[in-house]
Chain A
Amino acid sequence: MKAAQRFYLREVVSGLMLTGHHFFANMGKHLAHALGWRDARGAVTIQYPEERRPLSPRLRSLHRLVRREDGSPRCVACMMCETVCPARCIYIVADEHPNPDIEKMPARFDIDLGKCVFCGFCVEACPEDAIRMDTGILEFSSYSRLGMIYTKEMLLALEPAGPDGVPRSPVPIPADRTV
């Protein structure tokens, strides 16, 4: 350690200059912002519920089930996603599809988001491109475990996010959710 550093005072002053510079520079920007210059930003904070940072289009968000043109799910209940899921959070019950050309469809397709790890394996495993994670919805927390289970109907109703990553469907609320 150099003698000047042992003396400490010079280092204190240089540290105070640095933080003081930040303070006054940011204070000036805050003041300019308050006086109407909207481009001046004194902080890097994004004030979350009002402001949101843009999401990447590749972000894995809440799942949705892709619909056919008649509105029925594209899913053929092949159980690929249920098998590949490392968290075992998908529960499928298969049923006959009314159209004889299509072999099966899910009677139930539940995802327990309390267990889901958002790995995206279900999307990759799907041979029919029937499940996607592109809704842009991130806020689906619940006070109860039942409130985290999303059913086929809820997942079918979801739309993909817009090109800017903003969700286009409202956050679905499970009927079991207590709060």
Chain B
Amino acid sequence: MTALADFGIAFGRVVFIMMFILNLGGLLTWVERKQSAIMQDRIGANRAAIRIPFTQIRLRLLGLFHPLADAIKMLTKEDFLPARADRFLFQLAPFVSVFFGLVAFASIPFGDTLRVGGRVIPLQAVTLNVGVLYVFAMLSLGVYGVMMAGWSSANNYALLGGQRAAALMISAEIAIGASIMGVVMWYGSLSLQDIVRAQGDLLFGWIPKWGIVTQPLAFILFLTAGIAATKRIPFDMPEGESEIIGYFVEYSGMKFGMFAMADFLETVVIAGLTTSLFLGGWQVPYLYETGLRVPWGGTLGLPHLLVVLLQVGAFSLKVVVMIFVMMLIRWTLPRFRYDQAMRLGWLGLFPLSILNIVLTGAVLLAWGTRP
């Protein structure tokens, strides 16, 4: 019976994360349309409607049915297979892209622990003590789908797009990995849950010790490299949806849609990772396991369930805010040229990340012990 319950709990955690990231990823197509429209003084897509049966009332809901219409369109389009393409790799590539985007979120904690009926449930799909490395590994593997797509299409333009994607991903991943080292040194753990827990401490007695406070340079470097890893504007030269041809020229229908979805999933993953590493993850300032404790006096006891709900809500809110910021960047900046992106990655982000590691080490050494 306990084995069954354990299985149910593990299943529930995985399903929660799956629903969270899939729904958010699907909703991002709507967010992208609407946010860009509002930024540009437009209204945005609002025509897809569902008519309530037997009435003339057409529900539009601010264009929320557009993702649904997109999905129906994608699923019913012709699934074209180029004559000289590598059949197996060509069909595998979009699944590889989406799969690694989906599983990357697994080790990101969305709450502390939930205590129900004598059980302690960690609010995280997988409790890994190398969670940071796991997320990077999955994000890096995601590029194999892109390279596969470029290679197997038997199209030189697609191949060039895949090659650009590989080059971009390598320069971005190195900067991501190096910029994260400062955070790992500061909090002394590779487990995302431990890093988030450590961010609950207070600096000088009142500033929450979030990563953005202790590692501001790493935050900027990580965000830049993270946006590059999502392959979206301003680093969209692998695909270049508006004019240059990317790795998915030969794809149509839902396979094309899966590449677009993989980008959105990676956006969610990067937003979740940024939240966990730099914005305190599920931490609400001054909220502890027993309730609120404000440094300048005043405590408020809160029930355990409410605390957990607040934590999960805070995590979701932070992820959504990060996604908003990434969308804002995507709709503000023009695309980097290939050589500019390479120069930024290798001559800008990477040396600065190393500098950040050195600075962090010096501060830790001067402090004597980890503050």
Contacts and interface: CB of A to CB of B under 8 A. Distances in A.
Interface of A: 9, 12, 15-16, 18-20, 22-23, 26-27, 30, 42-45, 47
19 contacts: A9-B220, A12-B329, A12-B332, A15-B332, A16-B328, A16-B329, A19-B332, A20-B39, A22-B38, A23-B35, A23-B38, A23-B39, A23-B328, A30-B38, A42-B38, A43-B37, A44-B42, A45-B42, A45-B43
B39 A26 contact: yes
Contacts of B42: 43-45
B332 A16 contact: yes
Interface string B325-338: 00011011100000
Nearest to A26: B38
A23 B37 CA distance: 9
B325 to A, nearest CB: 8
B41 A44 contact: yes
B55 interface: no
Contacts of A15: 332-333
A20 B38 CA distance: 10
A12 B333 contact: yes
B40 interface: yes
Nearest to B35: A23
The DSSP consensus for interface residues of chain A is helix
A22 B39 contact: yes
Nearest to A47: B43
What's the interface size class on B, roughly? 10 to 19
Contacts of A47: 43
Given A16-B332, A19-B331, A20-B39, 4 more contacts: A16-B328, A22-B39, A43-B41, A43-B42
A22 B41 CA distance: 7
A27 B43 contact: no
Contacts of A22: 38-41
B40 to A, nearest CB: 7
Nearest to B46: A47
Nearest to A19: B332
Interface in B33-63: 35, 37-43
A19 B39 contact: yes
Contacts of B40: 22
A19 B42 CA distance: 13
Contacts of B38: 22-23, 26-27, 30, 42-43
Contacts of A16: 328-329, 332
A9 B221 CA distance: 11
Contacts of B41: 22, 26, 42-44
Contacts of A42: 38, 41
A27 B37 CA distance: 11
A16 B333 CA distance: 8
Interface string B13-48: 000000000000000000000010111111100000
Contacts of A44: 41-42
B66 to A, nearest CB: 16
Nearest to A30: B38
A47 B42 CA distance: 10
Nearest to A43: B43
